[in-house]
Chain A
Amino acid sequence: MGTWTWFHKLASPPHFYRIAGRLIPWFAVPAALLIAGGLYGGLVRAPPDYQQGEAFRIIYVHAPSAWLSLVCYTTMAVAAAVGLIWRIKLAHALAAATAPIGASFALLCLATGSLWGRPMWGTWWEWDARLTSQLILFFLYLGYMALRSAYDDLGRADRASAVLAIVGIVNVPIIHFSVDWWNSLHQGSTVIRKGGPAMPPSMLVPLLMCFAGFTLLYAALACIRVRAEVLERERNATWLRELPPA
Chain B
Amino acid sequence: MTPRRKRLFSVVAILAGVGLAAVVALKAFDNNLLYFYDPSQVAAGMAPAGKTFRIGGMVTKGSVARTPGSLEVRFVITDFAKSVTVVYDQILPDLFREGQGIIAHGRMRDGVFVADDVLAKHDEKYMPPEVAKSLKHAIPPEGST
Contact = CB atoms under 8 A, between A and B. Distances in A.
Interface of A: 47-52, 56, 59, 81, 84-87, 119-123, 126-129, 163, 166-167, 169-170, 174, 182-185, 187-190, 193, 195-196, 198-200, 202-203
A72 to B, nearest CB: 19
B65 interface: no
Given A167-B18, A170-B22, A120 B122 contact: yes
Interface residues of B, number: 43
B103 interface: yes
B137 interface: no
Main secondary structure of the interface of A (DSSP, over half): loop
A174 B94 contact: no
Given A183-B56, A198-B144, A199-B145, A190 B129 contact: no
B145 A200 contact: yes
B121 A187 contact: yes
B124 interface: yes
Contacts of B75: none
Nearest to B21: A170
Contacts of B38: 183
B94 A120 contact: yes
Contacts of A87: 4
